[in-house]
Structure formats: C-alpha cells, structure tokens
Amino acid sequence: MRKRQPASHPLSSMRERVPDLQAQDAPAEQRSWPRRGERQGWRESGRERACGQREMSRQVRALSPNPSPASGRGETRLSLAALLLVLTLIPFAANATDAAVITRQGNGKGAAPCMACHGVDGGGMAINGYPRLAGLDAAYLQKQLDDFANGSRANPVMQPNASALSEDERAALAKYYSALPLPAHPAAARPDAGGERLATHGDWSRGLPACTQCHAPGGVGVGANFPPLAGQPAAYIAAQLRAWQQGARHNDPLQLMRHVAQQLTPQEIDAVAGWFAAQPLPAKGSAP
C-alpha cells in the first residue's frame, strides 16, 4: 500500500509555503516564507501586487469543486462531515480555534500564518509597514478582521486571509494577540516637528483636532475604537491615512477618520505617521 505523500495531498502546494512548526524558532531571516525580497510594503491599494498569500489563497480556492460563493444548508452539513473526517486524516491541520497554531501555521484552509508578516511576538515588521498586533484591544482586532472579510477595510493581503478564517478563528486570534505582551520597541528616527504639532495640537482652522484627543496622549490608544498609534510602523500609519483619504478603508465609526484624513496633505500624512512611529510604547503593566 502506497504511503500518503505530501505531494499527493490537496493542500500540498500550500504546505510547501507554510513554515513548519519548527520554523517558529528559526530567526525571521531563515524562514522560507514569505520571502523577504518579494514582500511588498503594506498597501491598501488594489493596484499593488499582493504577496504570496493571495496567490496561495487563489490556488487553494481553485481546488474547490464549487466556485459559487453560496453554499446551501445541505452542502454545509456535508462540508461539516467532510471537515471532521479531514481533520482526523490530516495530521498537520490546525485545531480550528487554536489561535497560537494559526499564527504559526495558518489554519490549513487558506489563511496564512500571521507571524509571517506580524512577527513571532506580534510586534509587526516596521520595515515593511506590517503593524504590531500584540497588546491591541481584542474587540478592535476582531472588528478589523471582520471588516477585512466583509470588505469595508480593503487590503489585498488581509482580505483573503481574514476571509479564510472562520468567525471563531477571527475571535480567537484577536484574543490571542490582545493578550501578548508589548514587544520591545526600537528607538525610531527623530520625527519632524510638524508631525508633532498636528498630532498633539491638530489644526482647528481646518476643523482638525489633535490626533491624541482620540488616540490618547502619546498615541497609546483608548478602548475598542481608538487603536494605539505609538510605535506602529510609519509606513503602516501613513498607508491607513491614505486608505481613508481614498476610500479603500471605510470602516471608521462616525466617519471620523475619513473626515480627518481628507484634510491632510501627503507631507502631513508622512510627518504625523513619523511622529507616532517614534513614540514609545506604554510601559509594561500600564493599562493602555
């Protein structure tokens, strides 16, 4: 009897790309996926080439015998039975709600391992503009995953990944990352003074409040709706401001960010993003 080979497995093409469990201990530079040279900065614009995840996701979807989005009740029951069976047969399939496993391996259903972009410690990857997730509010994180899945936050990398996660998995991941300790934050370059002024004073002649009026002094964030900006990659913050300006991101309550972002010049966006990127993360143990 022929042994089950990875090559014959329907998920094998994905497996090649997904780091093995051991990879979690390997330094980021040695991990095979995603490949550094190929990775694009975090962009909310659909014009940018998506990195490996989207390609992977497309391959995975192509395996589906039923490309139609709708799945009836009967099909769901069948799929559930299939799911149970497959879970018993596939040794590397992740437990559906084991967030830690998903962050390292993906969920085996098309969602890539989060740590590939957001880091082993959830600290993000500043050079590519991938945001820190560790220590963010769980409800905020879950809303963002839900919004990627429903399209109110557009992003070529995150949309397919969030969509491939079940609601339970999204909730579990949000909880997992919110509970991670804040990672060490390397000192950033000295930001320009214009950014500080806008961040801490706003420009009320244009109806612009200080960013810190809602994101808290120092940009440490408040509750489920005003995420921390302190220490997030400048490229990430700037990309979000542009996404609001251009409408690619429109999941802000009361249209607060759309309204604010529309008034900013490109220079102001970069300046204010640079200032927040350089702010220290709140001290460990303090309640952000």
Partner 1 sequence: MKSLPIALLGALMLAACSHPATETPAAAKPAAAASAPTKNKAPPGFTPPAEADIPAGPLGDEIRLGRAIFTDTPTQAHDYVGNGLSCSNCHLDAGRLANSAPLWGAWGMYPQYRKKNGRVNSFGERLQGCFRFSMNGKAPPLDSDVIVALESYAWWMSKGAPNGVKLAGAGYPKQGFKPPQPTDYARGAAVYAKDCALCHGDDGQGQQVNGRNVFPPLWGPQSFNWGAGMHELDNAAAFIKANMPLSRGGTLSDQDAWDVAMYMDAHERPQDPRYAGDVAATRAKYHDTPMSLYGTTVNGHLLGSGAAK
Window 248 to 277, contacts with partner 1 (CB under 8 A)? 248, 250, 253-256, 258-260, 262
DSSP secondary structure of 17-36? HSPPGGGGGS-GGG--SS-G
Distance linking the first and last C-alpha atoms of the chain: 58
Kindly tell me which of 35 and 61 has the beta carbon lying closer to partner 1. Answer: 61
Q: Which stretch binds partner 1 (CB under 8 A): 5-13, 48-56, 121-129, 179-187?
A: 5-13
Query: 159 to 218, contacts with partner 1 by CB under 8 A?
Result: 159-160, 163-167, 201-202, 204, 207-209, 213-214, 216-217
Q: How far is the CB of 158 from partner 1 (least distance, A)?
A: 12
Q: How far is the CB of 51 from partner 1 (least distance, A)?
A: 18
Q: Which stretch binds partner 1 (CB under 8 A): 31-39, 105-113, 135-143, 179-187?
A: 105-113
Q: How far is the CB of 24 from partner 1 (least distance, A)?
A: 23
Per CB under 8 A, the list member of 13, 95, 97, 225 interacting with partner 1 is 225
Q: 228, 220 in Cβ contact below 8 A?
A: yes
Q: Which pair of tokens denotes residue 54?
A: 């989207």
Report the distance separating Cα 25 and Cα 30, nearest Å: 10
Q: Should residue 223 be labelled a site residue for partner 1 when binding is judged by CB under 8 A?
A: yes
Q: How far is the CB of 53 from partner 1 (least distance, A)?
A: 13
Number of residues in contact with partner 1, rule: CB under 8 A? Answer: 74
Per CB under 8 A, the list member of 32, 45, 71, 267 interacting with partner 1 is 71
The alpha carbon dihedral of 214, 275, 268, 45 has a sign of negative
Instruction: Select from 203, 237, 242, 205 the least CA-distant residue to 219.
Output: 237
Q: How far is the CB of 123 from partner 1 (least distance, A)?
A: 21
Position 141, amino acid: L
Q: How far is the CB of 36 from partner 1 (least distance, A)?
A: 27
Q: 115, 103 in Cβ contact below 8 A?
A: yes
**Omega before 34 cis (within 30°)?**
yes
Long-range contact list for 20-25, CB < 8 A, 24+ apart? 21/104, 21/105, 23/104, 24/104, 24/115, 24/120
CB atoms within 10 A of CB 288: 18
Written in H, E and C, the secondary structure of 52-65 is: HHHHHHHHHHHCCC
Q: Print the binding letters for residues 130-149 with partner 1: x by CB under 8 A, - otherwise.
A: -------------------x
Kindly tell me which of 92 and 121 has the beta carbon lying closer to partner 1. Answer: 92
Position 106, amino acid: G
Q: Print the binding letters for residues 15-54 with partner 1: x by CB under 8 A, - otherwise.
A: ----------------------------------------
Kindly tell me which of 127 and 253 has the beta carbon lying closer to partner 1. Answer: 253
